[in-house]
Amino acid sequence: MTFNGTVPGPLIFAEKGEVLNVTLRNEGDIVHSLNFHAAFGPSQALSGSVEQGSSKSWTMRLDFPGAFLYHCDGDNLNGMWEHVASGMYGGIVVREESDPVGNEFYVAFSEIYGTKSHPPFLGNASMPGSTNASTFDIEKFLARQPDLVLTNGMAFKHIPFAGTQSKMVLNSDAEVFHVGAGQPTTWYLFNAGPRNPIAFNFGGGLVQISSAGEEPVYDEVLSIPPGSGTTLQVTFPEPGAYFGNDHDAASLLYGSGFVVIAE
């Protein structure tokens, strides 16, 4: 279950005031939908349930700048949790003219809950048209116990190792981010959840963080609730390795986080 075949779904950029034309074509075998947090009012923000094999087109006016999540609502909320945890989410960024351009990074977190279903929430097995048993574990979901936390669609995608004296290799093919020391960067960070908040921190000391149009502040931890996005203007003060992480200390073990090398 994905939007356009990727987890996370495509990042959408728009200018404030733009009108976005959306077509949701359901090529799956169960009901899906779209919920755009960036739009105002149900007629623009919600697709409603779109049956398998059919499509729906509509328009929305993006009058509110910021970084917002979009996601599947399942069949009018039924199954929404499973569809989001399966990867049906993405980010939409609505820019103002004054926003900086360039040195931009997109990072989305989400949780995975495997593999058994439980009545009365039968997951996909309960969706109209479904012939498949669910692979979603509602008990783990209700207990906030994900198997993995994905960073841009994969656990440990952006973390090569932990430890120096006792090195634990996590992903020898990890993709780390590269930035210029002292250079301003923009981070669009999304937490699809669907359950746990993120205590976001850039390990490596304080970083200068400013929201668009506001005076810079120096901060340590910033909360990103499930179902939300945020934009950070960050300057990494000196060369070195920084770790964008959920400071909930267990999150690294679930695969969450990303390394930034400033040069």
Q: State yes or no: residue 34 binds Cu ion (CB under 5 A).
A: no
| Interface characters, 171-210, with Cu ion (x: CB under 5 A) | ----------------------------------------
φ, ψ of residue 135 to 5 degrees: the values are: -110, 20
Q: Which residue is nearest to Cu ion (CB)?
A: 72
259: closest CA among 156, 159, 191, 179? 159
- Which member of 83, 157, 158, 195 binds Cu ion (CB under 5 A)? 83
Token pair for 81: 């949790």
155: closest CA among 179, 174, 181? 174
Question: Total binding residues for Cu ion by CB under 5 A?
Answer: 4
β-pairing, 221-224 vs 184-191, is unpaired
The greatest distance separating any two alpha carbons of the chain, rounded to the nearest whole angstrom, comes to 57
Contact between 209 and 219 under an 8 Å Cβ cutoff? The reply is yes
- Which member of 88, 159, 179, 259 binds Cu ion (CB under 5 A)? 88
What burial class does residue 56 get, using C-beta atoms within 10 Å of its C-beta: 0-12 exposed, 13-18 middle, 19+ buried?
A: middle
Least distance in angstroms from the C-beta of 26 to Cu ion = 8
Q: Which stretch binds Cu ion (CB under 5 A): 4-12, 84-92, 102-110, 222-230?
A: 84-92
- What number of residues does the chain have? 263
Least distance in angstroms from the C-beta of 135 to Cu ion = 14
What lies within 8 Å, CB to CB, of 217 at 6+ separation is 208, 209, 210
Least distance in angstroms from the C-beta of 31 to Cu ion = 7
- Which member of 72, 127, 138, 207 binds Cu ion (CB under 5 A)? 72
Least distance in angstroms from the C-beta of 43 to Cu ion = 20
Residue type, 207: V
φ, ψ of residue 48 to 5 degrees: the values are: 75, 175
Q: Which stretch binds Cu ion (CB under 5 A): 88-96, 152-160, 228-236, 243-251?
A: 88-96
Q: State yes or no: residue 32 binds Cu ion (CB under 5 A).
A: yes
Q: State yes or no: residue 140 binds Cu ion (CB under 5 A).
A: no
Contact between 35 and 84 under an 8 Å Cβ cutoff? The reply is no
Residue 90 to residue 93: CA distance in whole angstroms: 10
Q: Which one, 88 or 170, has the nearer CB to Cu ion?
A: 88
Q: Which stretch binds Cu ion (CB under 5 A): 8-16, 39-47, 66-74, 147-155?
A: 66-74
Q: Which stretch binds Cu ion (CB under 5 A): 25-33, 153-161, 240-248, 254-262?
A: 25-33
Interface contacts to Cu ion, rule CB under 5 A:
32, 72, 83, 88
